[in-house]
Chains A and B, each alone.
Chain A
Amino acid sequence: MSKIRVLVGTRKGAFVLSADAKRRDWKVSGPFFGGWEIYHVKASPADPNRIYASQTSAWFGQQIQRSDDGGETWNPVGNAFLYDGVTGTHQWYDGTPHPWEFKRVWHLEPSLDDPDAVYAGVEDAALFASKDGGASWTELSGLRRHSTGSSWQPGAGGMCLHTILIDPKDPKRMFVAISAAGAFRSDDRGATWRPINRGLRSQYIPDPAAEVGHCVHRIAFHPSNPNTLFMQKHWDVMRSDDGGENWREISGNLPTDFGFVIDVHAQEPETVYVIPIKSDSEHYPLEGKLAVYRSRGGDEWEALTKGLPQEDCYVNVLRDAMAVDTLDPCGIYFGTTGGQVYASSDAGGNWSPIVRDLPAVLSVEVQTLV
């Protein structure tokens, strides 16, 4: 029988939530690395017992932890994230040049086929790679050295590279997203990059249709159709059907199109989920009612609220805090800044909390273990 393992990163440690395929009775393990911010925990698709975690602290810096036994035990591996060559500057919030400085790892993306290979998206925005299980890291500096790099600016959460997608059909192709520079694509395994932001419009930059400067919050695709990308931007939910060459808005009838997360149903490549948040200055659901919205392809959205709080709910759901399992019916999971991790074992029809009182949730990933 299949098992589900939910990997949760929080402001004060990591947690592992486990259940069988019925997804009713959950075992909660943790906190691991208590007191540290765990920005992301993700397992290798090639070896489900190999899990990487980003452990960070304003006091004591960055650690990368690795488990080789499914999260039972952990060991620190390499934490030297050194930019390649002369770092130069990007724009600061006030428009002045500011030196690139490493702050933390936001996202870890293990290779699809090699448990020892993993990518790290960091703040200040850059992409690093390890080929030795996280022991050493090398910057793929073609991204940061893009001709637009000196004009990139941080979003409110910092200038973070938070999304890394590896194309399962073309191992040379990767996508990343940076707040607030936008989306980028590489077709040569990360050596060179170009912005893929045509069609995005952002009112908070001088030229709303600029090549870079867009605050992309999250991008997702279905592994069977990686040419179709779904994006939750600062405002606007977007879709591309040509690998990011062109985007069109699919916000449709969403009550607000601000938000952070976006994900795709495991069996239905056209079914996409978002969690609308009231606004960029009010990071909580509309009218205190928490709702997931589902759409077949975009434009027409339905609210999924059964089991979710419909009064006095003022939590946020951060960009890496939604994931899906691969069971049928598909399980959908998300974590909140109020410490709840909600799960639906019927593709969003009904929701219930796995846990209610964790520290603020930064990230949620799911493993379906056969």
Chain B
Amino acid sequence: MIRVVLPAHLRTLARVDGEITLDVAERATQRSLLDALEARYPVLRGAIRDHVSHKRRAYVRFFACERDLSHELPDAPLPEAVTAGSEPFLIVGAIAGG
């Protein structure tokens, strides 16, 4: 079970409060986590990554375990603490004015 924290605007869009928990197959990656997230909340398709290329949107960042995972390869394994559920995977709107 993986814990995911969405930014406020995406929580509103997905109509969820607080953390989300997702069951992701063993050897979870950013790609499999986001696939599972979008499968449960189709409204998030296109809001975190591109519809077709699945490239992360420029102003969206991924943090976990006090590390910036935004530039990790999509198929790289997530940190063990994330897959174990002891640390959340944070999806963050970059600080860029607004």
Do these two chains really belong together in a complex? Answer: yes
Interface string of B59-95 (1 = CB under 8 A from A): 1100000000000000000000000000000000110
Q: Which residues of B contact A309 (CB under 8 A)?
A: none
Are B96 and A60 in touch, CB under 8 angstroms? Answer: no
Known A-B contacts A59-B9, A60-B10; the reply to A80 vs B59 at CB < 8 A is no
The list of the 3 closest CB pairs from A to B, nearest first, reads: A59-B59, A60-B47, A59-B93
The yes or no answer to B39 lying at the interface (CB within 8 A) is no
Contact residue among B8, B46, B59, B96 (Cβ-Cβ distance under 8 Å from A62): B46
How many angstroms from the CA of A76 to the CA of B10 in the assembled complex?
A: 12
Give Cα distance in the complex from A35 to B13, angstroms.
12
Say yes or no: is A58 at the interface (Cβ < 8 Å to chain B). Answer: yes
Q: Is B48 an interface residue (CB 8 A)?
A: yes
Q: Which residues of B contact A (CB under 8 A)?
A: 7-10, 13, 43, 45-48, 51-52, 57, 59-60, 93-94, 96, 98
Query: Interface residues of B: mostly helix, strand, loop or mixed?
Result: loop
Complex CA distance for A36 and B8, rounded to whole angstroms: 12
**B51 touching A80, Cβ below 8 Å:** yes
Q: How far is the CB of B46 from chain A (nearest CB, A)?
A: 5
Q: How far is the CB of B38 from chain A (nearest CB, A)?
A: 12
Asked if residues A63 and B59 are in contact (CB atoms below 8 Å), the reply is no
CB–CB A59/B94 < 8 A = yes
Q: Which residues of chain A from 31 to 84 have any CB-CB distance to chain B below 8 Å in the complex?
A: 35-36, 57-63, 76, 79-80, 82
CB-contact partner of A76 in B13, B59, B96, B98, under 8 A: B13
- Which of B7, B46, B52, B96 interacts with A61 by CB under 8 Å? B46
Residues in chain B near residue A62, CB distance under 8 A: 46
Q: Please tell me which one of the listed residues B7, B9, B59 contacts residue A36 in the complex, with CB atoms under 8 A apart.
A: B9
- Complex CA gap A57/B93 in Å reads 11
Q: How far is the CA of A9 from the CA of B52 in the complex (A)?
A: 29
Determine if B43 and A80 form an interchain contact, defined as CB atoms under 8 angstroms apart. Answer: no
Is A60's CB under 8 angstroms from B93's CB?
yes
Contact B46 A79 (CB under 8 A): yes
Can you report 14 residue pairs joining A to B where beta carbons are below 8 Å apart? A35-B9, A58-B59, A59-B59, A59-B96, A59-B98, A60-B9, A60-B47, A60-B57, A62-B46, A79-B45, A79-B46, A80-B45, A80-B51, A82-B51
CB distance from B85 to the nearest CB of A (A): 26
Which chain A positions have C-beta within 8 A of B13? 60, 63, 76
Smallest CB–CB gap between B11 and chain A, Å? 11
CB neighbours (8 Å) of A58 from chain B are 59, 96, 98
